[in-house]
Amino acid sequence: MAKFDYPSEHSLVSNIDFLSPDLFIGREVELSVLKQVLHGKKADLLSDDEKAIFNEKYGGIVQSVAHSKWVIQGDKGIGKSALAIEYITKFREEYDLIWWIPCSIEGSIVEGLRQLCQRLTEKEPENSGDSFPRELNTYLSEQNRWLLIYDGLNDQKLTKYLPSEINGHCLLTSTFFEWTDFGNVMPLSSISEKHAAELVRNFIKEEDSDLVNRFTKLLNRNPLGIRQAIDYTLLNEYKLKDYLESQIKGNIDYSL
Ligand SMILES: Nc1ncnc2c1ncn2[C@@H]1O[C@H](COP(=O)(O)OP(=O)(O)OP(=O)(O)O)[C@@H](O)[C@H]1O
Ligand SMILES: [Mg+2]
C-alpha cells in the first residue's frame, strides 16, 4: 500500500498546529469511547468508576465492531471541538494524516478540502464546490491511517463533502441532534461537578468549594459558559461571590 508523500523528517501530514494545552480537563470516558468506537479497542485504561459511567452513558453505542465515522453531538460550548483536539493530541500516532476542516460555512469546507487536495496531490480539485474532491477519494481509498475532522458541521446536507469510501476515520462535531440517516452519534453532556470546579480553579483562586459548585451549577456546567463567566469575573476584578450575587439580582451587563 502506498504511503502518504510526506517529508521524511515528519511522520504526520496535518494542518493542525494547535495541540491541546495542559488545561484540558476530564472526559476520560469520552476519549475511551471514541478510541473504542473508531478503533474497536477496549476501554481498558479506565478506573472501575469510569467503567461504570462508560457502560451507563455509552454502553448502547459501543459495539464490538469499529465504525469509521462518528458525530460528537452536543450543545453549543459543551466542549465538542476541545474533545476532538484532545483525541488528536492523545492518539495522533495512530495516523499518517490528520486534517481539520472548519464547517461553519460551506465555503470553509470547500477550502479545507481544496487545501488537503493541494497538499496530497499538488493539484487543485476538479470538482471543488459541490462534493468531496474525486482525486482525494482515489487517494484516501488506498490508505487507512487517516483522520478527517469536520468541525461544526451543523447541517446534515453538508455530509455530501464526506468521502464516499471511508477506509480511515471521519470525526464530526455538531450541535445538530437528529442524525437519523448518519447512524453513529456520540452525545456529549456537561462536564462533571469535579471537573467544572477544576476548570474554575485553573483561573481563579477560590477556596470555598460550595461557592465554586454553585457558580458552575448556575452555568449548567457548560465549559464555554464557565469560561465566559470567569473572563467576566476577572475583567471586572470580581470575586465569585460578587458574580453569584449579581446573577441573583439579575444585574450582570455582558456588554461591558
Ligand atoms: N474538557 C475541557 N477542559 C478544559 N476546557 C474545556 C473543556 N471542554 C471545553 N473547554 C473550553 O470551553 C470552551 C468551549 O469549548 P468548545 O469550543 O470545544 O465547545 P463546542 O462544543 O465545540 O462549541 P460550539 O458548538 O460553539 O462549536 C473552549 O474555550 C474550550 O477550551
Ligand atoms: Mg466547536
Q: Which residues of 110-147 are buried (b: 16+ CB within 10 A; e: fewer)?
A: bebbbebbebbeeeebeebeebbbebbeebbeebebbb
Closest CA to 79 of 222, 253, 196, 217: 222
* Cβ count near 233 (within 10 Å): 21
pLDDT value at residue 7:
44
Q: Average pLDDT in the 245-250 region?
A: 74
Contact 134, 181 (CB under 8 A): no
Pocket probe mutation, ligand 1, options 224, 226, 232, max atoms within 8 Å of Cβ: 224
Rounded to 5 degrees, what angle do the CA atoms 66, 72, 77 make? 160
For ligand 1, say whether the CB of 223 is within 6 Å of any of its atoms: yes
Which residues, at least 6 apart from 250, have a Cβ–Cβ distance to it below 8 Å?
Answer: none
Distance CA 166, CA 41 (A): 19
For ligand 1, say whether the CB of 73 is within 6 Å of any of its atoms: no
* CA of 26, closest atom in ligand 1: 1
Q: How confident is the model at residue 223 (pLDDT cuts 50, 70, 90)?
A: very high
> All 3 cell numbers of residue 25?
480537563
* CA of 74, closest atom in ligand 1: 21
Pick 13-187's CATH classification: 2.60.40, 3.40.50, 3.90.1210, 1.20.120: 3.40.50
For ligand 1, say whether the CB of 77 is within 6 Å of any of its atoms: yes
Domain boundaries, the chain: 13-187, 193-249
pLDDT digits (tens, 9 = 90+) for 20-76: 667 899 998 899 888 887 877 655 666 777 777 777 777 666 654 557 888 999 999
Q: Which residues pair with 14 in a beta bridge?
A: 98
Phi, psi of 92 (to 5 degrees): -65, -25
Q: How far is the CA of 184 from the centre of ligand 1 (A)?
A: 21
The reported pTM is 0.88
For ligand 1, say whether the CB of 81 is within 6 Å of any of its atoms: yes
pLDDT value at residue 123:
86
Distance CA 52, CA 58 (A): 10
Contact 156, 181 (CB under 8 A): yes
**Amino acid letter for position 219:** L
pLDDT value at residue 44:
60
Q: How confident is the model at residue 18 (pLDDT cuts 50, 70, 90)?
A: low
For ligand 1, say whether the CB of 43 is within 6 Å of any of its atoms: no
For ligand 1, say whether the CB of 26 is within 6 Å of any of its atoms: yes
pLDDT digits (tens, 9 = 90+) for 107-136: 999 999 999 999 998 888 887 678 898 888
Nearest ligand, CA of residue 86? Answer: 1
Q: How confident is the model at residue 138 (pLDDT cuts 50, 70, 90)?
A: confident
Q: How far is the CA of 36 from the centre of ligand 1 (A)?
A: 22
* CA of 85, closest atom in ligand 1: 18
Q: How confident is the model at residue 137 (pLDDT cuts 50, 70, 90)?
A: confident
Q: How far is the CA of 70 from the centre of ligand 1 (A)?
A: 18
Which residues, at least 6 apart from 45, have a Cβ–Cβ distance to it below 8 Å?
Answer: 28, 32
For ligand 1, say whether the CB of 80 is within 6 Å of any of its atoms: yes
Contact 226, 199 (CB under 8 A): yes
Distance CA 99, CA 149 (A): 6
Across the chain, mean pLDDT equals 84
For ligand 1, say whether the CB of 221 is within 6 Å of any of its atoms: no
